[in-house]
Structure 1
Amino acid sequence: MSIFTRFLWVLICCLCALSPAWANATKGVPVHGKQTAKDTLVTDTVKKVKQQIYFQTPSNLSTASTAAISGSDFVSTPVVSYPLALGGRLPGLTVTQTNGEPLSEGFSMLLRGQSPVILIDGIPRSVTEIGMNEIESVTVLKDAVSLAMLGIRGSSGAIAITTKKGSATKTQINFNLQTGIQEPLKNLIGSPLNAYNYATLYNEALTNDGLSVATNGFSQVALNAYQSGSDQYKYPDVNWRDQVMKNRAMTSRYDFNTSGGNNFVRYFVNLETYSQDGLLKTSDANKYNTTPNLKGYFIRSNVDVNLTDKLSAGIYIQGRILNSTAPGNDGTAAIFNSILATPANAYPIYNPDGSYAGNSQFTNNIVAQNVGSGYSLSNTRTVLSDFYLKRSLDDVTKGLWIKARASFFSNLNENIVRSKSFAVFEQTGASTYRQYGTTSAQSNSNGISFQNRSDFEELSMGYTHNFDANNGLDATLLANRDNLINGSNLPYTIQGISGHVAYNYKKKYLAEVSFAQSGANRYPDNGGFKYGFFPAMGLGWNINEERFMQPLTWLNHLKLYGSYGKLGHDNATYFLYQQVYNATPTAYFGSSAAAGTTVGESYLANPNITWEKSRNLNVGLEGAVLHNQLSFDVEYYNNLFSDLYIVRGTNTGMLGIDYPSENIGRQRYYGWEAQLNWAQKKKSFGYFFGVNASLQNSKLLYSGEPTLKYSWMYKTGHPVGQTYGYIADGLFRSQQEINGAPTIEGYTPQPGDIKYRDLNGDGVINQYDQTTIGSQKPTLFIGSRLGFNVFNFDFSTLLQGVVNQQVYLSGADYWEFQSSNGGQAYTTQLNRWTPATAATATYPRLTTSGGPRAGDVNNFVSSSFWLRNGDYLRVKTIELGYTLPGKTSRKVGVQSARIFVNALNMATLKSLTFNGADPENYSGMYPIERVFNLGVNIQL
């Protein structure tokens, strides 16, 4: 029997159970009953979100853990990807951004430490760029009751986007115009050294490595020339970042939307365009654009129709076009990597004859790479369409309904590359040059980089009723199927049955059950489908409804609630359960392969592969006092993740094949979340203040580690992702300090090297002295929003921060001379160890890439020396607005008009670690922007 056949049988049984006699017994009882002021803790926006997510239990009668914000709270944020506007606004949700390039922001969203599913109007989607004015509200779903109906993709949490809908009101027309200026934030902890300091430090590093300065370094003549700047062709001093980066660029958003309707049809239509100029310089010699620009076009039409008094329908259509450009074939990342690998004295930008300069070590001129290597175009086209039919079954029994919906999603990205190569020249005489590389004409190519489409079908049935003054019931049962085809991959299908039942007694005692029988087609059972059962239950107590609480007139709401359940996460790839063979000319056993082909296994199969699981516990207390002016919510969660995909132990070459992924990993994520809000409104003055905090911790319970010699070597029992390496005890200040000290096997340290702790006391530093390093305190994420309005002026700001965060500094953006050609060096290294600075140095002695690479086995291995405090507090947004008085607006023919100025990433208070650099992007890649924005909103 198929899962849909089973679902139809369930529906028939439900209809039989709901007899007309029952309906008559409850005739005249309102669906939800009359709600008091105590029931209005959350806004109508939040309730609408819940109605889009499978069940519609009012928040005050639910035990679920959710948090929501209105789209109007962040609609004016000058970003194209809405997740970038959510950071600091919702407890449990953390958003970080590591890149500022348009459409390649490198952001990540984590909900209680996991990557959440994105739902748009209740349907799983992968879209993170939609028109900001399309968004009615955003809700995060965090506990088992709110997530169980997602089945095998519920354990990571969910972010639910609800789009705007029309209402039975007169037509409203809105214009929104914004334009802003972007400025790059500093994205390196240490500034690149000028030519003189670079050459001086490089000579010092050669000496430290025992190499000849005369042969490999810079002469005194060169040092003098770098210092005086006397010959920029022979002894250049180039700030490559300044040569390719602009100081500012423009951004803009223009939006038009209209909404309204009547008792028959309701509509919302939105047209929006967004543009963001890139921060790389362009050349007037080109007739095309090489900077990473973005132009986005969005359209949405949401239409709801009452076909009869009992039958309604809806058609929701969204389309988007995203056009972006980039320099050359390799894009912007290659340019910034070149900057990290190229010192200021590597070569001049141009030769005296105007040709691009270079040499045998540096054959890729960065300016030419930016403006002389052609360009590429990226075009993304997306169409999303949702349809539904909903039938009221009040003629069967009051409060019963049935709904069918279907959705289609198509996404395509096409790249057009028009690239060309360039030659660089090294001046060898007054008018002679040596050429490296060739100059070629433009070559053209295009291709589809990704293409996917999905279809979604769902049949649901619900019942909401209050049987008498004491008993209320809300139930939903549904079956859905989500089918995704990504490029040439086989279809990926998730389907199942799920349900939700909420019961309340006198709106005082609450009980809630959610479940899913859900499966996917990546497993060995039933022709590829394998199903699991995911139940959850919640209990709640509206304490303020108790009779003994009635004298407390200042108390408007107080609810204790909790939930527990089992959730799933489908993380498998296709055919892990099948043994796969490949053809290879290598023999696994014996001296050599004979002529012909030897057949071998690619990897060991796992016939028992299944989905990952979690058991989620959530307990909370929420309340509101003083006429709902002050509200609070405190929650504790403890989520145990099991059956995680890992490869046990360490593969051995003797096996000749990789171990399979197995469902044996276990982790725990747990912590506290809290939010506090205060709002007060008087005649011509109002203000609000809100703060949320998330204290997040984790523990690795099992990862299949091999048996280790000492207990401190295990990662198990420590936070997930904890850094592993040596514990550093500062620097060796002198040779006397080195004598007799434990050192790394096979290495003879020098003064200025990092010294490490000998954990087992055997006098040698080796793998037995490695352990988890860094702080293991839980990380605290905080967000705060505050504002006020006086007469027609309004002001608001959003703060975002993190405490107990550590960052690991490494690589070519922080260490010196990290490429084979020398690489950059930074102001950070000016405080390196030397005999004169032995007592105060904070950086090890310098070393080059040309010597024995002492740092490879000592200074640059993973150790606590490179861990730093990563705390920061950021003014994420700040906004000041003025609304024209009503009389003035009407005189100019508009219903209302508001002008505002705002800023994104205005200022950041951060630890000294970052030395003025951005705390999220300090690796030298495309910088994050500070945006100053001017906007106008007009409503007709």
Structure 2
Amino acid sequence: MNKLYFNVKGKHLYLKSLSRGLCMVMLVPFFATAQKKPGSKKTKDQVEIAGITRGQLSNIYGEPLFGVSILNKATNLTALSDKKGNYSLMADSGTVLMFSLKGYLTQETKATGRALNLVFTETEKPQASVYRLYDDQKKTTSILSSESIYTRDLTSSPVTAINNALSGRISGLNTLQTTGIPGLDGAGISLRGQNPTVLINGVPRDLSSIDPEEIESVTVLKDALATAMLGQRGSGGAILIRTRKGEVGKQKISFTAQTGLQTPIRLPKPLDAFNYATLYNEALANDGKPPVYTAADLEAYRTGSDPVGHPNVDWYKEILKSNAPFTRYNLNTSGGGNNARYFVAVDYLDQGGLLKTADKNVYNTNADFKRYIVRTNIDVDLTKNLLLNLNLFGRIENGNSPGGSLISGSANLGVNRILNALAATANNAYPMLNPDGSLGGNKDFQNNIYGLSTQSGYTLSYTRDMSADISLKRTLDDVLKGLWLKAMASFNTNLSEVTPRGKTFAVYQAQNGPSGLTYQRFGTDGTIAAGSSTNTAQYKNFYSELSAGFDRTFKDHHINILANASSQNISIYSDLPLSYNTLAGTVSYDYKGKYLAEAAMSYSGLNRYRDDKRYGFFPAAGLGWNIAKEDFMKGTSAWLNTLKLRASYGRTGNANIGYFVYNQYFADGPGYYFGAGSGTFVYSAAEQQLANPNATWEKADKLNLGLDGGLFNNKLSFSVEYYNNKYFDLMQTRGRNTAIIGNSYPLENIGISRYKGIDATASYRNNLNNFNYFVSGNITSNNKIVEYQDEVFRPYDWMKRTGQRTDQIFGYIADGFYKDAADIAASPKTEGYNPVPGDIKYKDLNNDGVINQFDQKALKNNRPMIYYGLSFGFEYKGFDFSALLQGAANRSIYVSGSTQWEFQDDGKGQAYAQHLDRWTPATAATATYPRLSIGSNPNNQASSSFWLQSGNYMRLKNMEVGYTLPQRLVSKIKLASVRVFANGMNLFTLSANKQIDPETFGNGYPAQRIVNAGVNIKL
């Protein structure tokens, strides 16, 4: 008997047996409408017709999945799930069915003759394609060096800047967060040691402060083949940010509300007044000076018996709050039909600052940040072959900061001024408030920190951004199959203003007299100034692009051709426009997906170069071999999906030119009076820095070798890459210049550096029934060496900069502390300084008996820096969990300044916990800090290895726990899903240095630990 198979797509039945076709067609309505008989009981696992498998498909949030492709691997029949996630397919018991949907992990399971309901988890990477500059490419045939992360990873981190959500998630990408100032806490990013070009929806621009929920993906492009088409902006690699689009289907509405608390990761640890005064007297004695604090003073500080005359103010505790709020709301909707799709999102973020405020003020003096975002992405099929895309983006950022008229230029200067004062002011400097409520102070301290924070006025900052992208894409299959044409235009503008509204305040020194307390005033109490807005930044960007492509398969041969012409005009303030013009193209070819080749190029120009030196040619090429597709590998096909070798080499450029440096400029110089009496004042003309008419772009020759693998239906995947990049024609000033010409030498294309290392990633995703789990890791080594630098003459090799890492620091090699006078006498003499016991001793590298500049060498080793990330998580019956560990190794940091050194600021500065471990004759064997002194010490504070400390760390960067309510509950209130979650950022840090945060240290605004909770509701 012939078996009957059919495939259900929508309402259409594809019959495989003509003899029984009519019977099966008659049964279809029965399949769709069969009802239980009154009083009958039927289990959920019963199936009405033998040989048919049916069920419902959903994601981990309980949402039905539409468009899942179900393949019967025995018969090649397929079906698609409907809008409710339901499907039905002819399949005998024991037949293997494969379920796949873009963005979700493919699952294979056997039909059992019962209902087959599956829960899908999102994949780490889409299986079908990878993103590149101007289009997509099949993942199986791509030989580019690229890596992507997607919405779910980005939204699990409570961040204001998307940069912070990338930490530890992509190999080759390193982040460094140096400040926690609200609204400006975005981490700096380097890609294989370089500054990448950022493109939003294909347009070069930097908008890192955007809503994570509006982002579909973030992709990094690393090698020359991937970035050659950027021309003079390709050397640093590229970061592509694609925003979400609407999809065919019913309208989806998602609302997320979340709120949390921010707390400083680590703050400096100043000494209390008693310890401060004790160490101060000791430092004076070390300097041969008499003490300033008596025994009675020390006792008063110890007991706190005289808070006016002997204050003990913990300034960090009095000025900074223990935590600050973090709140964000997001509402987005998407949907559409075959003719039009849409995605619309609005987002509100409120990030509070750590500064305490005063109730009596009617205005805000905290360092707060608020952001409002609106995005609309619309796709419209004007005709069958013509697609219109319109993206609109608007952003408003409002910042607030203490201080006003005393500070100019930027609102953040007020915050930094307070933090500098916190780091430099001793706990016994003055009382915060006098008994009468006035601000404490004296002639040495006339800027009370509490006054700076709450009584110096405030500054408002405003930033407005708007962008509009429009494109038309015409497929030309009616002319030539696989041919398409696209035109795009984009405009965005930015305006930033600062409005200072400051005031002055007086401080008062309380003094005990015969009639009680009297007060001496310093300064003047003023009123809030009206202030006027100052334009601090203005930016306009117009970008246009025309591209054409051809994508076609001819039997076993596949070819993809892309040509692109782009022009970008950038205006900043009153500068002449910066204009990039580029012609670019790429051709890729593969034979049976087995042998791969691609070539890319660009001819790119910039108007900041001389007319005859504006354009350059940037080529790149690559080859690949998917070994898994070879005939001799057929025996491995059951478990080996991909084993691909790839290699690329090419040249890229970097426009690091400055402002029309090929022209010689003259400006007003010193003036003189001519004539009798007051005369006439006439300015002279002064020559500016020498011009460089031969200035050109910096260049990079890049080699990239890669191995990619996919095993067990791509549940296990890995990628390992070796890169070797030579950067040359780097803009540098000659070391062997001379002042005899009476002018400064220009920057010239003379430097050479080499960056090389290894990127590696691996991930595993699988499921055991309803338990879905994953683990993913990445690691990068990056070695960055100066191969040539025009140096001044240096007599010893250890002094030379060439051959050292690009971020090298030079100084003395510390060799412990001087023990006593005999040790000093037996040691080399320090030029210009007479050391005493407890001072840092340095090595005499040239053995001439003198410590001077000829004994300074490279302090950091030349081993590669290593940074890494490890993420893992699971989903089970509505529960989900994910975590990310991120860190760095072989990293060094140089510590200095007011939070590291004692009694700075002419001896009026603070002292800290590390100073308790100072050298004294009694602690000589265990001391970790040199003997104390007042103010600057030219020997102990000289650049040396003593102040170079380990910057290695591992941080629990992100963790999230969520629970999605059962569908049977939320459906009763007409909702698609409800998920509650809690997440955190910078939760825990292991580092070699316990005193400081390994990324944000010194006297800056501390990085924040954020603990956050929220709810996501979908309709």
Contact 1:47 1:56 survives alignment (8 Å): no
User: 2:192 corresponds to which letter in structure 1?
Assistant: R
Q: Which residue of 2 aligns with 1:197?
A: 275
Q: Which residue of 2 aligns with 1:152?
A: 232
Output the CA distance in 2 between the equivalents of 1:202 and 1:586: 50
Range moving further from structure 2, 427-436 or 44-53? 44-53
Output the CA distance in 2 between the equivalents of 1:579 and 1:320: 40
User: 1:59 corresponds to which letter in structure 2?
Assistant: K
User: 2:217 corresponds to which letter in structure 1?
Assistant: S
User: 2:439 corresponds to which letter in structure 1?
Assistant: Y
Range moving further from structure 2, 703-712 or 755-764? 703-712
Q: Which residue of 1 aligns with 2:466?
A: 383
Q: In 2 relative to 1, CA 419–595 (structure 1 residues): closer, same or farther, beyond 3 Å? A: closer
User: 1:543 corresponds to which letter in structure 2?
Assistant: I
Output the CA distance in 2 between the equivalents of 1:44 and 1:547: 30
Structure 1 gap ranges (5+): 1-34, 588-593
**Greater relative CO (CA pairs within 8 A, separation 6+):** 1
Contact 2:161 2:186 survives alignment (8 Å): no
Residue 938 (str. 1) matches residue 1017 (str. 2): yes
Q: Give 3-state SS (helix, strand or coil) of 2:183's partner.
A: coil
Q: Which residue of 2 aligns with 1:314?
A: 389
Residue 453 (str. 1) matches residue 453 (str. 2): no
Contact 1:52 1:162 survives alignment (8 Å): no
Output the CA distance in 1 between the equivalents of 2:573 and 2:686: 29
Q: Which residue of 2 aligns with 1:795?
A: 881
User: 1:556 corresponds to which letter in structure 2?
Assistant: N
Q: Which residue of 2 aligns with 1:360?
A: 443
Residue 334 (str. 1) matches residue 417 (str. 2): yes
Q: Which residue of 1 aligns with 2:153?
A: 73
1:118-129 to structure 2, matched below 5 A, reads 118-129=198-209
Q: In 2 relative to 1, CA 651–103 (structure 1 residues): closer, same or farther, beyond 3 Å? A: farther
Q: Which residue of 2 aligns with 1:591?
A: none
User: 1:138 corresponds to which letter in structure 2?
Assistant: V
Contact 2:388 2:471 survives alignment (8 Å): yes
Output the CA distance in 1 between the equivalents of 2:203 and 2:920: 62
User: 1:319 corresponds to which letter in structure 2?
Assistant: G
Question: 1:927 pairs with 996, 1000, 1006, which one?
Answer: 1006
Superposition deviation, residue 48 in structure 1: 9.1
Superposition deviation, residue 336 in structure 1: 0.4
Output the CA distance in 2 between the equivalents of 1:621 and 1:48: 18
Residue 516 (str. 1) matches residue 602 (str. 2): yes
- Number of aligned pairs? 885
Task: Give per-residue Cα distances to partners, 1:289-335, cap 9 Å, x unaligned.
Answer: 11111111111100011001111111100111111111112421100
Question: 1:544 pairs with 615, 618, 628, which one?
Answer: 628
Q: In 2 relative to 1, CA 775–187 (structure 1 residues): closer, same or farther, beyond 3 Å? A: farther
Output the CA distance in 2 between the equivalents of 1:542 and 1:38: 24
Q: Which residue of 1 aligns with 2:483?
A: 400
Q: Which residue of 1 aligns with 2:295?
A: 220
Superposition deviation, residue 181 in structure 1: 1.5
User: 2:968 corresponds to which letter in structure 1?
Assistant: K
Contact 1:52 1:122 survives alignment (8 Å): no
Q: Which residue of 1 aligns with 2:74?
A: none
Question: 1:893 pairs with 951, 970, 974, which one?
Answer: 974
Task: Give per-residue Cα distances to partners, 1:347-388, cap 9 Å, x unaligned.
Answer: 001122211110111110000100001111111111011000
User: 1:756 corresponds to which letter in structure 2?
Assistant: Y
Q: Which residue of 2 aligns with 1:15?
A: none
Q: Which residue of 1 aligns with 2:361?
A: 286
Q: Which residue of 1 aligns with 2:697?
A: 611
Superposition deviation, residue 47 in structure 1: 7.9
Residue 875 (str. 1) matches residue 934 (str. 2): no
User: 2:978 corresponds to which letter in structure 1?
Assistant: A
Contact 1:187 1:925 survives alignment (8 Å): no
Superposition deviation, residue 37 in structure 1: 9.8
Q: In 2 relative to 1, CA 708–39 (structure 1 residues): closer, same or farther, beyond 3 Å? A: farther
Output the CA distance in 1 between the equivalents of 2:195 and 2:241: 16
1:653-664 to structure 2, matched below 5 A, reads 653-664=739-750
Q: Give 3-state SS (helix, strand or coil) of 1:815's partner.
A: coil
Contact 2:156 2:960 survives alignment (8 Å): no
Contact 1:365 1:424 survives alignment (8 Å): yes
Q: Which residue of 2 aligns with 1:773?
A: 859
Residue 231 (str. 1) matches residue 318 (str. 2): no
Question: 2:371 pairs with 280, 296, 299, which one?
Answer: 296
Contact 1:38 1:557 survives alignment (8 Å): no
Contact 1:39 1:557 survives alignment (8 Å): no
Question: 2:289 pairs with 204, 208, 211, which one?
Answer: 211
Q: In 2 relative to 1, CA 374–38 (structure 1 residues): closer, same or farther, beyond 3 Å? A: closer
Q: Which residue of 2 aligns with 1:862?
A: 943
Rg comparison, structure with higher value: 2
Task: Give per-residue Cα distances to partners, 1:403-424, cap 9 Å, x unaligned.
Answer: 1000000111121211101011
Q: Give 3-state SS (helix, strand or coil) of 1:74's partner.
A: helix
Output the CA distance in 1 between the equivalents of 2:645 and 2:443: 71
Q: Which residue of 2 aligns with 1:142?
A: 222
1:420-431 to structure 2, matched below 5 A, reads 420-428=503-511, 429=513, 430-431=516-517
Task: Give per-residue Cα distances to partners, 1:534-577, cap 9 Å, x unaligned.
Answer: 00001000110100011012111110001110000011112211
Output the CA distance in 2 between the equivalents of 1:643 and 1:748: 45
Q: Which residue of 2 aligns with 1:625?
A: 711
Question: 1:104 pairs with 184, 198, 206, which one?
Answer: 184
Contact 2:668 2:683 survives alignment (8 Å): yes
Output the CA distance in 2 between the equivalents of 1:37 and 1:646: 54
User: 2:655 corresponds to which letter in structure 1?
Assistant: D
Structure 2 gap ranges (5+): 1-97, 107-122, 405-412, 673-679
User: 2:276 corresponds to which letter in structure 1?
Assistant: Y
Superposition deviation, residue 799 in structure 1: 0.6
Contact 2:128 2:139 survives alignment (8 Å): no
Contact 1:46 1:69 survives alignment (8 Å): no
Task: Give per-residue Cα distances to partners, 1:473-499, cap 9 Å, x unaligned.
Answer: 001101000111111111111111001
Contact 1:516 1:533 survives alignment (8 Å): yes
Output the CA distance in 2 between the equivalents of 1:615 and 1:822: 53
Output the CA distance in 1 between the equivalents of 2:182 and 2:496: 15
Question: 1:259 pairs with 317, 334, 338, which one?
Answer: 334
Q: Which residue of 1 aligns with 2:119?
A: none
Superposition deviation, residue 920 in structure 1: 1.2
Output the CA distance in 1 between the equivalents of 2:132 and 2:223: 17
Contact 2:200 2:206 survives alignment (8 Å): no
Q: Which residue of 2 aligns with 1:725?
A: 811
Runs of 4+ in 1 over 4 A off after TM superposition: 35-52, 594-598
Question: 2:197 pairs with 82, 105, 117, which one?
Answer: 117
Residue 804 (str. 1) matches residue 887 (str. 2): no
Superposition deviation, residue 826 in structure 1: 0.5
Pairwise CA RMSD of aligned residues?
2.0
Contact 2:814 2:944 survives alignment (8 Å): yes
User: 2:542 corresponds to which letter in structure 1?
Assistant: D
Contact 2:129 2:138 survives alignment (8 Å): no
Superposition deviation, residue 89 in structure 1: 0.3
User: 1:555 corresponds to which letter in structure 2?
Assistant: L
Contact 2:671 2:682 survives alignment (8 Å): no
User: 1:622 corresponds to which letter in structure 2?
Assistant: D
Residue 576 (str. 1) matches residue 646 (str. 2): no
1:748-763 to structure 2, matched below 5 A, reads 748-763=834-849
Output the CA distance in 1 between the equivalents of 2:532 and 2:693: 43
Residue 554 (str. 1) matches residue 622 (str. 2): no
Output the CA distance in 1 between the equivalents of 2:756 and 2:215: 31
Output the CA distance in 2 between the equivalents of 1:584 and 1:36: 76
Contact 2:129 2:139 survives alignment (8 Å): no
Superposition deviation, residue 779 in structure 1: 1.1
Output the CA distance in 1 between the equivalents of 2:200 and 2:802: 38
Output the CA distance in 1 between the equivalents of 2:567 and 2:779: 37
Task: Give per-residue Cα distances to partners, 1:700-720, cap 9 Å, x unaligned.
Answer: 011211121111110110111
Contact 1:49 1:139 survives alignment (8 Å): no
Output the CA distance in 2 between the equivalents of 1:46 and 1:726: 52
